[in-house]
Structure 1
Amino acid sequence: MGPTRRDVLAMGLATCGWAAAGGTAASAQPAHRPVPFGGAVYLPDLEADPRLGDAIVAHCQAVTPVNELKWISTRPAPDLFDFAASDKIADFARTNALAMHGHTLVWYAELPEWVTRLTSAADAERALTEHIVTTMQRYGDVARSWDVVNEPIPDAARRPTDRRDSHWRALLGDDHIAQAFRIAHDVDPDALLVINEYDVEFATGYFPAKRQAFAHLIRELVDKGVPVHAVGLQGHLRGGVPIAKDELAQFVADMRELGLKIMVTELDVIDRDLPGPADVRDAIIAAQVEDFLGAITASGPLHSITTWGLSDTYTWIRWAYGRSDGLGNRPLPLDENFQRKPMFDVIDRFRSIV
């Protein structure tokens, strides 16, 4: 019997470089193979606009579900899983020989009400374990990387030891982070397990302290032998806020010395306060993405780059950071007509670093 479709897909996912926690598949890539590129997708957008699916297939090697794998979507009740929406994105990935990056297993936000009513550590640990095991097992063929813990650092960290408050932390303590990684590793020892965070790339305000706390947490986990394999830098860049190029480069170099891969997981640029003309704005955005990617590749190539959406038509920034001048936001590599913008040229250039 020849290889099954699943066998072919597995080979395709491995060769795209999105697999293998230990780096076997990625390191085996030919030197000329670009760093894998992915886009986040929201199922209603994918179903409503065929152009979006076509663009993902044309440009991407992976997709990340925006909301469909979050607890609020998959866990309507303690004894009930609802994977209807996430199954559709997984099937889209399988059909088009794409990987699916799992987002996210543990997050402080968007929890169903029944989770917030849990009052004992035993119940919280049972719910967390069941969720991670069931979700990872369901998508083990197509999701070879996971944001195991998302956004564990508070915005205004006062000390390097500060961790974000959450219901998980209230019931299980700070060790819930290590617990989640250990459970995930037990489920799938070959999956790439990621700790994911935002707002660690800037030079001013509360950002340096947040970066320091994130680094402290990662070192603490690695020192304890927790199976963390990659650092996810979301990259929701704030247009006009300077990138801390030297400090960010050092942070990434330190993470690489710990043996961790570096992934850009949610790249876009919040352009609410940037000038109106499209060509001017696009140039500023491209330059900021250049600064960001330049800093984090100074010590080596990225494992992957993912943008939070692909076309300006479908971006969370439109409702979260709409412009006062009424112009449409332009945070992503493709414009409203799915045409390439300068941001995409910058991404492609950094994908070629080996």
Structure 2
Amino acid sequence: MKPSRRDFLCAGAGLSAALLPLGLQPAAAADATLGGVAARAGVTFGTSIAADTLRIPAQAALYHREARIYTVDWALTFSHLRPRADQFHPGDAEAILAFATPAGIPVHGHALAWNESRPDWLMKLSNAGKRKALDRHIDETVAHFAGRLPSWNVVNEPFWPGHGLPGDFRDGPWLQAFGPGYVTRAFQRAQAADPRARLVLNEAMTEVWTEDGAKMRRGLLTLVDRLQDDGVRLDAVGLQGHLDPGRPFDDAGFADFLHQLGERRVDIWITELDVDDRAFPDDIASRDAAVAARYRDFLDAVLAVPAVKTVITWQLADSASWYNHAARRADPDAKRLPRPLPFDDAFAPKPAVDAIIAAMKKRIG
């Protein structure tokens, strides 16, 4: 039976009450934790989190101990909140807040306007109907969490060259309804709904050194310039960092791109960091070492850029990874499961933990 919203809320509150006496809250975190070392480096370290993370006490304790910020994984996407036009389901996000708030861990909202989160009912609307739907969604959602979510990914993944559209924008309901101006509109409405919330523009694949990656980097710089020229408040740019060693990359070149963003006086967040290990050997020790090396090399380059202020992994333990879930769906009997994250499916640290800590310490100097 699927747990109810009340079950999640009670579980979150109960876990928080149980963990706080153990000294696992961020204020008392030891320097040995990822969050503690990162804080000394002037970086906020965190992880995405889903409501079902709270079902496993050991996993919840791990996330509680290591992270200084949580990103809501899927619970605030349009499709999850509004599966029907007359529905609004914030319960999973409320459960995460019930878990995080007593410990003082901020929760980052993800994501208000994303063209890939589009329930069937939305796509049946006219463009005028879609415009009303986006305005209502941002106004109501941000207002509902105002004062409780200190930051939002306002627009997620605005670009996708594969769609072949002008400016390399990603197709979808919001682009269809407003054109590229949906980005400005979303930021303006989010700011009006909660003037204190920090506003983030989040994009994928900018670290990939291909023609499409170059188009997305150029598009993002142009979009940041346009938003700033229009007087839109943009506090940070998020770059996802789903690292795929099977694709071309250039960490030094990526750092140069980060410097260009930093010159625009925005903070930079790495928002969805993990390492796709499909290109690495089957042997677990060898694979874990290769994953760790990729984390280290990437973060060595990224953390040398002063504008980088936040690093968030997309989940923290392998069993919660989207790569793991996809592999299990494709083959429930799969022998080789992905190991893309700092902790394994038993919540034990892997070499990636030491690699991330080493990169953070290098920034400390």
Structure 2 match to 1:341: 350
Structure 2 match to 1:43: 51
How far apart are the structure 1 equivalents of 2:87 and 2:209? 44
Structure 1 match to 2:113: 106
Structure 2 match to 1:66: 73
Post-superposition CA distance 1:272-292 (Å, at most 9, x none): 221112221122112222232
How far apart are the structure 1 equivalents of 2:258 and 2:195? 25
CA shift at 1:159, angstroms? 8.6
- Contact 2:139/2:193 (<8 A) preserved: yes
Letter in 1 for 2:225: R
How far apart are the structure 2 equivalents of 1:240 and 1:113? 34
CA shift at 1:120, angstroms? 3.1
- Contact 1:282/1:342 (<8 A) preserved: yes
Structure 1 match to 2:299: 293
In the TM superposition, 1:177-326 aligns within 5 A as: 177-204=183-210, 206-300=212-306, 302-320=308-326, 326=335
How far apart are the structure 1 equivalents of 2:170 and 2:292? 32
How far apart are the structure 2 equivalents of 1:231 and 1:100? 17
In the TM superposition, 1:1-40 aligns within 5 A as: 32=40, 34-40=42-48
Structure 2 match to 1:154: 160
- Contact 1:34/1:351 (<8 A) preserved: no
In the TM superposition, 1:67-146 aligns within 5 A as: 67-121=74-128, 123-146=129-152
Letter in 1 for 2:263: E
Matched, 1:331 2:340: yes
- Contact 1:156/1:209 (<8 A) preserved: no
CA shift at 1:215, angstroms? 2.1
- After TM superposition, where is structure 1 displaced by more than 6 Å over at least 4 residues in a row? 157-160, 322-325
Letter in 1 for 2:187: F
TM-score, length basis structure 1: 0.84
Number of corresponding residues: 325
- Contact 1:136/1:184 (<8 A) preserved: yes
Residues 1:296 and 1:156: Cα distance change in structure 2 (over 3 Å): farther
Letter in 1 for 2:239: L
Structure 2 match to 1:53: 60
SS of the equivalent of 1:206 reads: helix
How far apart are the structure 2 equivalents of 1:160 and 1:66? 30
Residues 1:32 and 1:66: Cα distance change in structure 2 (over 3 Å): closer
Residues 1:41 and 1:108: Cα distance change in structure 2 (over 3 Å): same
Letter in 2 for 1:328: L
How far apart are the structure 2 equivalents of 1:159 and 1:257? 28
Unpaired runs of 5+ residues, structure 1, are 1-14, 17-30
CA shift at 1:106, angstroms? 0.6
Post-superposition CA distance 1:60-110 (Å, at most 9, x none): 112222111111111133343111111111111113321111001010113
* Structure with greater proportional helix content: 2
CA shift at 1:149, angstroms? 0.4
Residues 1:93 and 1:187: Cα distance change in structure 2 (over 3 Å): same
TM-score, length basis structure 2: 0.82
Letter in 2 for 1:94: T
Post-superposition CA distance 1:250-303 (Å, at most 9, x none): 211111111110101111111122111222112211222223223323331522
Letter in 1 for 2:306: G
How far apart are the structure 2 equivalents of 1:346 and 1:132? 39
SS of the equivalent of 2:270 reads: strand
